[in-house]
Structure 1
């Protein structure tokens, strides 16, 4: 710390560090199926009859087979007897548009899911709904799936260990929200739903898919090379730009040993330049200053 005497004005600089602003979670993508093919594409889509379906649906389109409640908006994506007219066990797909996730961490997916056996008989073990991800255009990897936990089950369940048998939360006719982390380490992300339902009385649906992430913020460096010049009877400060800084704050106090920041006065904030003039300075007062980089 150095004392500077500028004519009758006495000032001092206490070189300080930085403040890192934590970022809030951001929604990077939303697909709600309210508009056909908006934000997604369908492969092997079908709407042959109310009980042969792999496509978005309004309740009236699939009535009276529709057992669902709690969906968002007027449409959801619906699956029933998806192998109609095709080889049994052939999957169908819904692929969301690719998004940019560079600079984001803690990527996750939130969605609404519902499902049941419409007549209460047993589900087939090979039926599933899989959620997959692709990073930077690579192969799709399954990170969650819903399957029957046993041959006599009437509801699909989360298969949290991906071993082909439901062991988690069971789906019901009421849509429920599920959240899953996605282990993304690249720049782009694409989500795909892969499904297979063999019978006309077995069905599930999903809706309101959201991809979220937290923007990665780099900590700012420390302002350096701070100088004072005397300009128009007022002290003008300059400093070298700090790495990753988006703005600067200036604090002052009559006592350099005051607790920071409680014992200091915030003179200015949101400074985007690397200079600042204290227009409140008094020629008879001694002030100590702190320059803080912010990101």
Structure 2
């Protein structure tokens, strides 16, 4: 434990408001045993403190310690006085500073250090009661909010708490030699052999917290202030087991702040920035801080002209902008800070204002709210240089990196007069462009610039990925969402995903609105479309790429012939959108569309016994397949069969290129139950297939499938999916 009277700084938190009293049992340490005598004696003792002042240390807005006593060293006669000499019989009669080795019979816990002060049965060896312990000469000059704290304990083994009615310990104080004022009283709880407790209403009976064998902190407020404080502890304990122990007395208070005066800065002809640094609040909020200035060297504290701010402040540096000064004049100034205890002043500083006018002091700040075609420019005239600022504004350029007034490719915009911050809203800028800007200010001396700031306008917002509607074999409609601020749009259409080539008329085609009908397209072809938004400031990046395939050319529907004669008739069919012409086959039998002579395949050779994907060379030519292998035995109708794994996505088998397709016939069966369907599809390019028909599985018995495709396209591909 540190000596409470060394020169180091210590701190204690503020505890309770005026006249509050409470206990704090939060700091137990170790247990100590003391002796017990067989007779009683009341005692009074006094502790004398000769003007001891401790260093002060800031702790937020908490109070600072101005006095403490921990009894770790003998202070009788120097730090405190007793009304009778300290005494102990080595047993149960004592009134002394002790570490427990010269007394016996008592058991305390939470001892604060090695030594404390204790008393029991004082009149066993001392006939005069009460006795007292006095701390005097405590300097409280300029201090407010005084708080007293003490740790108390009384032996309690479950049977030895036997204070009687006359037993008491009174803690009182006086300021500047006045009368004693009650602070903390400890009384018996009434009657004989009762527990000692805090007497909250000072009526002679303990009715508050019981004093136990654990050292516990009790705190009370000291009302008023003055120059010198005295604490008196009076004891009247006249029998065995009527004991008390106390330790770690302390007093905290609010003091005036500690402040230093800072240096002057930003000095012009008529203004300067002054300030200070609050290094210690004195234990209370700072309610006002600022500076006093004067043209008189050594001017008195609190005189001169004041620039300040009020509120709630802590430690730290602050500044005040002082204006209205005269050019070429020496000024003296002091920083000050005020709390509830008073006002403190820093040492005197000085500065001299500029003696002649200069060009203004201006600063260019970063542009804000930058869009593809606009921005807000920002600057500040920090000082007018001693002459009025008659014009201020900005110069900017996308070419000149250090723009100034009257230079080529430089635009000037004005923004008022005088000092302070100012702005300008620019519009009509070009997107995706870097601009260079300087704030400027003009007075009678000349023009000043605030330094170059740059900003870049982004590209305009691009449209969202286009969508499609009204899709046919030769046309579709492209749709997009309008972009705010766009005046038109550019559209690219290509059959290549990298847009290496373009559909005629659709490279950078200007369109408007939110849709465009596109015609003259090819059947069964995938097209790629992208958009750009055109703004007055420029053109956006590309949108995402929209993809759409036109539908396949469908076969016409043949209707009943008309105008039938002996050797002629009129063939009729439905018109097909986008068809350039039609091919007509006429025969005397229905086998005209039979392609059996064109392609026959029994799958007896060319397949493997594991699932295969890719090109498969069979007897009838090169087929393509995904997840197909050769089946034999009971799983084939005769010889071998092609098995398609419908557990694989897009599993299929596709014919070689055919020059026409009439009737398709094959046998099929389901190898495992579960149901489902297969599709017959056709394609003119071997890539983009359309459905011809679908067929539900009919169980695990081979069933013949027959369908008239009747498509004379050349080439044409058929596949089972």
TM over 0.5: yes
User: 1:66 Cα deviation (Å)?
Assistant: 2.0
CA distance, structure 1, for counterparts of residue 349 and residue 318 of structure 2: 8
Note if 1:109 corresponds to 2:186.
Answer: no
How do 1:114-129 and structure 2 match up within 5 A?
Answer: 114-116=153-155, 119-120=159-160, 122-129=162-169
How do 1:166-205 and structure 2 match up within 5 A?
Answer: 166-205=206-245
Note if 1:243 corresponds to 2:302.
Answer: yes
For residues 258-290 of structure 1, give each alpha carbon's deviation from its aligned partner in whole angstroms, at most 9, with x where no partner exists.
xxxxxxxxxxxx885254769xx983422279x
Q: 1:271 to 1:142 in 2, by over 3 A?
A: closer
CA distance, structure 2, for counterparts of residue 93 and residue 137 of structure 1: 17
1:97 aligned partner: 136
Number of aligned positions between the proteins:
235
TM-score (norm. length: structure 2):
0.30
User: 1:137 Cα deviation (Å)?
Assistant: 2.0
1:81 aligned partner: 121
CA contact (8 A) 1:116 1:156 kept: no
CA distance, structure 1, for counterparts of residue 177 and residue 192 of structure 2: 39
User: 1:198 Cα deviation (Å)?
Assistant: 1.0
Note if 1:30 corresponds to 2:89.
Answer: no
User: 1:217 Cα deviation (Å)?
Assistant: 5.6
TM-score (norm. length: structure 1):
0.69
Q: Give the RMSD, CA atoms, in angstroms.
A: 3.4
Structure with more strand by fraction: 1
- Structure 2 gap ranges (5+): 1-59, 259-266, 275-292, 309-316, 323-345, 363-380, 384-418, 420-721
Q: Residue 58 of structure 1: which of 72, 80, 99 is its match? A: 99
CA contact (8 A) 1:32 1:76 kept: yes
Structure with higher RCO (Cα < 8 A, 6+ apart): 1
CA contact (8 A) 2:169 2:235 kept: yes
Q: 1:126 to 1:228 in 2, by over 3 A?
A: same
User: 1:132 Cα deviation (Å)?
Assistant: 1.0
1:293 aligned partner: none
User: 1:60 Cα deviation (Å)?
Assistant: 2.1
Q: Residue 146 of structure 1: which of 159, 179, 186 is its match? A: 186
For residues 117-148 of structure 1, give each alpha carbon's deviation from its aligned partner in whole angstroms, at most 9, with x where no partner exists.
66436321111111011111223333221011
For residues 218-277 of structure 1, give each alpha carbon's deviation from its aligned partner in whole angstroms, at most 9, with x where no partner exists.
9xxxxxxxx9637xxxx657933772889972349xxxxxxxxxxxxxxxxx88525476
Q: Residue 287 of structure 1: which of 369, 382, 385 is its match? A: 382
CA distance, structure 2, for counterparts of residue 107 and residue 276 of structure 1: 44
What SS does the corresponding residue of 1:126 show, helix, strand or coil?
A: coil
Q: 1:284 to 1:186 in 2, by over 3 A?
A: closer
For residues 19-51 of structure 1, give each alpha carbon's deviation from its aligned partner in whole angstroms, at most 9, with x where no partner exists.
xxx864111111111111252112223213321
What SS does the corresponding residue of 1:83 show, helix, strand or coil?
A: helix
CA distance, structure 2, for counterparts of residue 171 and residue 210 of structure 1: 19
Structure label with greater radius of gyration: 2
What SS does the corresponding residue of 1:170 show, helix, strand or coil?
A: coil
CA contact (8 A) 2:165 2:192 kept: no
For residues 79-109 of structure 1, give each alpha carbon's deviation from its aligned partner in whole angstroms, at most 9, with x where no partner exists.
1001224447x11111113211011111011
CA contact (8 A) 2:163 2:194 kept: yes
2:349 aligned partner: 273
CA contact (8 A) 2:165 2:191 kept: yes
CA contact (8 A) 1:228 1:237 kept: no
CA distance, structure 2, for counterparts of residue 108 and residue 251 of structure 1: 39
